[in-house]
Amino acid sequence: MNRLTPEQRFQIVQFYFENNGSLSVRNTYRALRSFYRRQNRPSEQLIRLTMGRFRTTFTLIDNSHPQRRRTVCTEEAIATVERSIEEDPNESIRHRAQELDQCPSTLWKILRKDLGLRAYKIQLVLELKPNDHQARRRFVEWAQNEIAAVPDFHKRILFSDEAHFWLNGYVNKQSCRIWSEANPQVYVETPLHPETLTVWCALWAGGILLQKR
């Protein structure tokens, strides 16, 4: 059973308090046996979540979300969005929609279809210091001299990189979601200093070099 009606929630609350409060989750689960089939009966976890929600919100009805006001793609709205983009092209659609008092979906249509704009991500590159340009120039001149003296010098160049791997697994909480009527308060314990494995790899004309530590 994935979702309960207000009547079913009321029945759970009623049975819960009839069975002496905090120790009644199991008793409530058993009392519902005669009203539901085995595969359709609310689980103990669902009963516990329902009671936790009732204690915190004092309601058995889902929160109703206000209907979003839809705006029309008029010439005035398009011109307003265009001026807003010229002033600040970095603002998100959600914040821009709030400032312009427009529906986010309408704003998205104006940006993509009417103005022909696309959302681009910034690129992260290594910062160059003032002395880096001269160092690169010296390296290029040195490499040219070596190639002139040794024709197969380019075959002696190594291109290397390294990567770190977590041996105990890595949890990306941004991609982990738990759908529930109430916060299940799920925690994942991670060590303060996790074990890692560093892999170093290099490519050159003679093959591949691999080292682990």
Nearest CA among 65, 66, 68 for reference residue 105: 68
Give dist(CA 200, CA 10) in Å, integer.
61
Give dist(CA 166, CA 168) in Å, integer.
6
Amino acid, res. 118: R
* pLDDT tens per residue, range 166-211: 787 766 676 676 766 677 788 777 778 888 889 999 998 889 998 8
* pLDDT tens per residue, range 5-50: 878 888 888 878 876 655 577 778 777 777 777 667 787 778 778 8
* pLDDT tens per residue, range 59-93: 777 665 555 555 567 888 899 999 998 888 888 88
Cβ atoms of 110 and 74 within 8 Å: the answer is no
Nearest CA among 210, 183, 202 for reference residue 48: 183
